Each structure stands twice: as structure tokens, then as C-alpha cells.
Amino acid sequence: MSQPTEKSVKLISNYVEKYCERTGLNLHPMKDVSDAVTTGLAMHLDDLKRPLCPCRFYPDKQQAVAEREWLCPCSDMKTYKYCHCMLFVNAEGMPVTEHLPEDHEGRQTYGDIADPAPEKMHRKLPN
């Protein structure tokens, strides 16, 4: 497995730190988890010129980039403040699920997990 460039690692690390501040969330408390996701994002930044979510399978990564749904922050993160990669989480290392629709897999998997900073939403929630 190749490694991302130092430049991409720095760009992603800086982005992730600022996004945590902006959303009121934390990096996963297990460093291996956050490192794996940020490394994957940096590798995609090198290979695809975009931070495509590394936690999903894509039959065609270029098509996924064009569709933009899984570019970090992904649509779920922007809309519901839910990170299925577990990169952006609460202080206990759990993903925010309180804003998700009832039938969303994240809410079904983790239950109702409160947003520690609801005043820091990226986008207005759907009604």
C-alpha cells in the first residue's frame, strides 16, 4: 500500500482540525481510527485531486468524485452532522445521530446520540 504525500497529509490534517472547530465535534479518540481515515483522504487527494471518503467502496472513483456526495465532508456530514467514518465524533467517540432521519442506518446502528454543539450546524437541517 502506498502512502500519501506529506503535502496532502498536512492539507487534510489542517482541514480536519478546522472542521472540528467549525462543527464543535472531535476527532475519534482512538488515534488509529482518525489516522486511518485522514490517511485515506490524503491518498485520495493525491490520486483523485479530491478528498473522497475512504470508508466506502466505489466501482468507479472518478464517477464518485463527479457526483460529489462522498467528498469530505460528505452529504450526510453537511446535512445531518453524521460521519459514518467516525472521523468527526462527540467526546466519547460516537457519531452524532440526533439529526438523522429515523430510518437512516446510522440512527438504527447507534441509536440517538446528541449533537454536542447543535449551534454549529454546517447547513440548515431539512424539516
Residue 60's identity, in one-letter code, is D
Residue 40: CB atoms within 10 A of its CB come to 20
* Residue of 20, 53, 55, 85 marked active site: 55
Distance of CA 86 to the CA centre of its chain: 7
Q: Is 52 helix (H, G, I), strand (E, B) or coil?
A: strand
DSSP state of 84: T
**55 flagged as catalytic:** yes
Residue 25 CA to residue 65 CA, distance in Å, equals 25
Buried b (16+ CB within 10 A) or exposed e, 113-127: bebbeeeebeeeeee
Residues with a known catalytic role? 55
